[in-house]
Amino acid sequence: MEMSEQTSDSPSRVKVTVRGKDGNKITTVVATPGQGPDRPQEISYTDTKVIGNGSFGVVYQARLVDTQELVAIKRVLQDKRFKNRELQIMRRLDHCNVVKLKYFFYTSGEKKDEVFLNLVLEFIPETVYRVARHYSKQKQTIPAPLIKLYMYQLFRSLAYIHSLGICHRDIKPQNLLLDPETGVLKLCDFGSAKHLVKGEPNVSYICSRYYRAPELIFDVWSAGCVLAELLLGQPIFPGDSGVDQLVEIIKVIGTPSKEQIREMNRNYTEFKFPQIKAHPWQKVFRARTSPEAIDLVSRLLEYTPSARITPLQACAHAFFDELRDPNTRLPNGRELPPLFNFTEHELKIQPSLNSIIIPSHIRNTNASGSQASASMSASTSSTDMSANAATTSISNVTAAGTTAASTFNSQEVNTSGDTASCTNVVSAPSASNA
């Protein structure tokens, strides 16, 4: 058995590696849970292998020894002068369409004073990018029902993070994780994300070019680019540079007016754009593309940020009505994943949309559940009243000299609704329609 140990002044950086009987390396570290109080605990993982890397760092797949659960471990170099923004943001997030941070810990690097932050995330096997590429190789696009399923969950995740004042700033197919069996989509990679503060400047180049909004308010525009790409089978604005990007946008949407330019970026009001008429959206997409899909794209890819629909308005769009049909199933015959398990927090984002985003069959089910709970509560009250009356009667008899022994156990009935799978969160200022 081999054992090596790396320690530093922080307990969360302790790392022990052991070679087990089967020859697999087991790594034990002291990690802090992603949510809740800071209570470091030992976790062990094995079967580690690299599944991704880039300028940000390296991503490993591993298996937790205790639960046998697969996880992804994102390892990034930590600048000790600053708090890690991705960690701070991810610790705030708890939503069924956002990848969950399970633990985090620190490890020492090979160089002196080099420290790495390790984010232990739930492992989701696929991405929208790989699924789209699979269909593209067969000269096909993703089937429309799946596009609806994926985009709906993306918009729901955006509605949630925007309600917390968080902008993702790197929405693209590669950052949309998929479970192909259940159809669940989860937004990942918050390395570029930021808690937007009014009046604070934001870096313009951070978003991947194909999905970059012209005025650099990213998320809804980027989601529109993703939807258009899934419908087309290729990026809608495939520019090679910032200038190329803008030209590609203008070729489709037309030249922005002075007022639109002013709303996007006041610094560009004197810039001379080529005068080009907008290309009709119907001619941008294939003939078989549904009018609802085209309408949604047109409402997302709006020059004027204030004219762009919000993520929750997108969820309420007619393009997603098929998902609200109780008879809709996944291509593999399974039921759709939970799409309408909105938390109290989510229902407060834009209450006027609740009657649309919650389908009638769900509302009716909830209403029936409420009536049943009310009936149970009334029944319990009636039982309690009878018990009280009986107790009074017994007390009177006892006072008269008659011995009576009786025990009444009042059973408390829980009439609260089921806890949603996405934990409620504290309300926070809304972000702009990023």
Q: How far apart are CA 122 and CA 186, in angstroms?
A: 10
Q: Is the pLDDT of residue 26 over 50?
A: yes
pLDDT digits (tens, 9 = 90+) for 132-156: 999 999 999 999 999 999 999 999 9
| 166 domain-assigned | yes
Please indicate, yes or no, whether residues 227 and 351 belong to a single structural domain of this protein: yes
pLDDT of residue 212: 42
Please indicate, yes or no, whether residues 99 and 131 belong to a single structural domain of this protein: no
Q: Which helix (H) or strand (E) holds 230?
A: helix 219-232
pLDDT digits (tens, 9 = 90+) for 41-50: 999 999 999 9
Question: Residues near 148 by Cβ (< 8 Å), separated by ≥ 6?
Answer: 319, 320, 322, 323
| 13 domain-assigned | no
| 413 domain-assigned | no
Please indicate, yes or no, whether residues 175 and 324 belong to a single structural domain of this protein: yes
Both tokens of 278, joined, read 């907008």
Does 170 participate in catalysis according to the annotation? Answer: yes
Both tokens of 203, joined, read 């870096």
Q: Is 20 in contact with 42 (CB distance < 8 Å)?
A: no
pLDDT digits (tens, 9 = 90+) for 118-130: 999 999 999 999 9
What's the rounded mean pLDDT across residues 202-210? 48
Please indicate, yes or no, whether residues 139 and 110 belong to a single structural domain of this protein: no
Please indicate, yes or no, whether residues 249 and 113 belong to a single structural domain of this protein: no
Please indicate, yes or no, whether residues 86 and 133 belong to a single structural domain of this protein: no
pLDDT of residue 16: 55
Please indicate, yes or no, whether residues 270 and 336 belong to a single structural domain of this protein: yes
User: Terminus-to-terminus CA distance in the chain, angstroms?
Assistant: 53
- 74: annotated binding-site residue? yes
Proportion of the chain above pLDDT 90, given as a percent: 57
pLDDT digits (tens, 9 = 90+) for 373-418: 444 444 444 444 344 443 333 233 333 333 333 322 332 333 233 3
Please indicate, yes or no, whether residues 235 and 114 belong to a single structural domain of this protein: no
Both tokens of 424, joined, read 């409620």
Please indicate, yes or no, whether the overall pTM of this predicted structure exceeds 0.85.
no
pLDDT of residue 338: 96
Domain range for 289 is 127-361
Domain end residue (candidates: 326, 343, 361):
361
Domain end residue (candidates: 123, 138, 164):
123
Q: How many domains does the chain have?
A: 2
Q: Is the pLDDT of residue 312 over 80?
A: yes
Q: How far apart are CA 38 and CA 85, in angstroms?
A: 17
Please indicate, yes or no, whether residues 194 and 284 belong to a single structural domain of this protein: yes
Please indicate, yes or no, whether residues 75 and 203 belong to a single structural domain of this protein: no
Domain end residue (candidates: 108, 123, 138):
123
- Between 59 and 425, residue with greater pLDDT: 59
pLDDT digits (tens, 9 = 90+) for 320-344: 999 999 999 999 899 999 999 999 9
Please indicate, yes or no, whether residues 206 and 83 belong to a single structural domain of this protein: no
Residue 195, domain CATH = 1.10.510.10
The per-residue pLDDT of the chain, averaged, comes to 79
Please indicate, yes or no, whether residues 287 and 269 belong to a single structural domain of this protein: yes
| 352 domain-assigned | yes
| 217 domain-assigned | yes
∠ Cα 374 423 426 (to 5°): 100
Q: Is the pLDDT of residue 295 over 50?
A: yes
What's the rounded mean pLDDT across residues 40-64? 93
pLDDT of residue 131: 97
| Catalytic choice (9, 38, 94, 170) | 170
| 158 domain-assigned | yes
| 66 domain-assigned | yes
